Structure 1
Amino acid sequence: MSPEDFMESVTRVAESILQGGVVVFPTETFYALGAHYMCSSALGRIYRIKARAHGVPLLCIVDGPGKLADLVEQIPAEAEKLIKRFWPGPLTLVLPAKQGIPEALTGHGKGVGVRWSPHVLAQALVRRVGAPVVGTSANLSGKPPAALLEDIPELILRSVDGVLDGGKLSGGLASTVLDCTVSPFKILRAGAVSREELMEVVPLSPHCSE
């Protein structure tokens, strides 16, 4: 893809998001369904497209720690250490949510899940949108995530407003999800960053929701 084609594709999909649409875009592991983090109608569509239970929060993708100010009230000091060590990468941090964040992102709790994807297209998309982008796996709830566009159910592809093609993605383990609103931090979902790697940086709760 030429630089011109690259930017044209990113701009087209970003415009769909800015107009309240839902899109498919690549991350470093799997394809994701995306929307503007503050667009309630688009967030509701994602739940319907995935047949996902309401109350299960959606995660957000940023293009660097600077975007956290849109989502997060404060960043705990221990979380700062994790950001420096593991971002960009497959580690989702649940951080204290800023007032006014949609319930679709908090699940009626006090935290919002955020990660910084290293995928060049994901970063370019968030940068072009100028705000965090919701990123949840482009699959039906409970089904395997897709590392290829052709593995995404046709029902989903017909339901979105734009697709950003990143070719074959690496797949593997999904991001680790770590709750940083409790002390010590607690693993909510095991994934690509192991407990041992995390404990080299911060103490963790012996209990987990894996």
Structure 2
Amino acid sequence: MKAEIIEIFPDNPDDRKIQQVVDCLKNGGVIIYPTDTVYSMGCDSRNVKAVEKLCKLKNVKPSQNRFSIVCSDLSDISVYAKVPNVAFRLMKKLLPGPYTFILPTTGDLPKILQTNRKTIGIRVPDHNIPQQIVKALGSPIITTSLKDDIDDIQEYPNEIEVIFDQNQDKVDIIIDSGWCGIIPSTVIACTDNDQVELVREGLGEFSDD
């Protein structure tokens, strides 16, 4: 079965369409959805079979995944990650926004997402659609870009026709919200109270001054 394209406007998302996406996720579906950076692929982070399917699509072993999760706001983050003081200050300043924070995991993170690194990427995108999906779902969704090579920012697909052509047999739903972007998030590692490391410079501006 080919993926269904659902048009959702970020300024005023249709609750029925959001619920349709949520129902798909609850049933183990994989979706493509917009963020404040690039279009991403994801699933319900607590659905083991869905995560395994996503790993297969991305050609990675579950134990070696580098997936990040989307939370709806800062209050949700502490459930899944330990937040050092320096990270909390930065996150309060920068989120929601085009940033991924690498933080130590907590025991509440689904086991399939726990790797030997004992860290998890956290996103709170400044985009209404993923925020509404996460709130309605009641758990984070995974975010992983449609492109495998994260260093070549020119090849992130942004046109729905191209995205559909490349992924129509891979995912269940593709959310069309118009123009998204081709520059990924800025990645910041905060795994120690006294250390902040810029891992990747992306759309979000960053200074540790």
Rounded Cα–Cα distance in structure 2 between residues aligned with 1:147 and 1:21: 21
Task: Mark the CA change 1:190 to 1:103 in structure 2 (over 3 Å): closer, same or farther.
Answer: farther
Which of 54, 76, 80 is matched with 1:67 structurally?
76
Task: Mark the CA change 1:107 to 1:57 in structure 2 (over 3 Å): closer, same or farther.
Answer: farther
RMSD between aligned alpha carbons? 2.3
SS in 2 for 1:84: helix
Which of 171, 187, 200 is matched with 1:177 structurally?
187
Task: Mark the CA change 1:87 to 1:4 in structure 2 (over 3 Å): closer, same or farther.
Answer: closer
Which of 75, 79, 98 is matched with 2:87 structurally?
79
Segments of structure 2 that go 5 or more residues without pairing to the other structure are 1-7
What amino acid is the match of 2:178? G
Rounded Cα–Cα distance in structure 2 between residues aligned with 1:155 and 1:193: 28
* Deviates further, 51-60 or 176-185: 51-60
Q: Contact 2:196 / 2:208 at 8 angstroms: preserved in 1?
A: no
2:115 counterpart residue number: 107
SS in 2 for 1:33: strand
1:180 deviates by 1.0
Rounded Cα–Cα distance in structure 2 between residues aligned with 1:36 and 1:20: 7
How many pairs does the alignment contain?
195
1:193 deviates by 2.5
1:44 counterpart residue number: 52
Rounded Cα–Cα distance in structure 2 between residues aligned with 1:109 and 1:101: 13
1:56 deviates by 3.7
1:33 counterpart residue number: 41
Q: Contact 1:175 / 1:193 at 8 angstroms: preserved in 2?
A: yes
Rounded Cα–Cα distance in structure 2 between residues aligned with 1:18 and 1:65: 23
- Structure having greater relative contact order (Cα 8 Å, sep ≥ 6): 2
1:206 counterpart residue number: none
Rounded Cα–Cα distance in structure 1 between residues aligned with 2:13 and 2:35: 19
Task: Mark the CA change 1:99 to 1:151 in structure 2 (over 3 Å): closer, same or farther.
Answer: same
Rounded Cα–Cα distance in structure 1 between residues aligned with 2:123 and 2:109: 16
1:117 counterpart residue number: 125
| Identity across matched positions, percent | 24
Which of 113, 137, 140 is matched with 1:132 structurally?
140
SS in 2 for 1:167: coil
Matched, 1:167 2:173: no
Rounded Cα–Cα distance in structure 1 between residues aligned with 2:143 and 2:170: 16
TM-score, structure 1 as length reference? 0.82
Rounded Cα–Cα distance in structure 2 between residues aligned with 1:5 and 1:88: 18
What amino acid is the match of 2:140? P
Rounded Cα–Cα distance in structure 2 between residues aligned with 1:138 and 1:7: 26
SS in 2 for 1:75: coil
1:10 counterpart residue number: 18
1:198 counterpart residue number: 207
1:96-125 C-alpha deviation (Å, 9 max, x unpaired): 101152465343211110010111111111
2:160 counterpart residue number: 149
Q: Contact 2:29 / 2:171 at 8 angstroms: preserved in 1?
A: yes
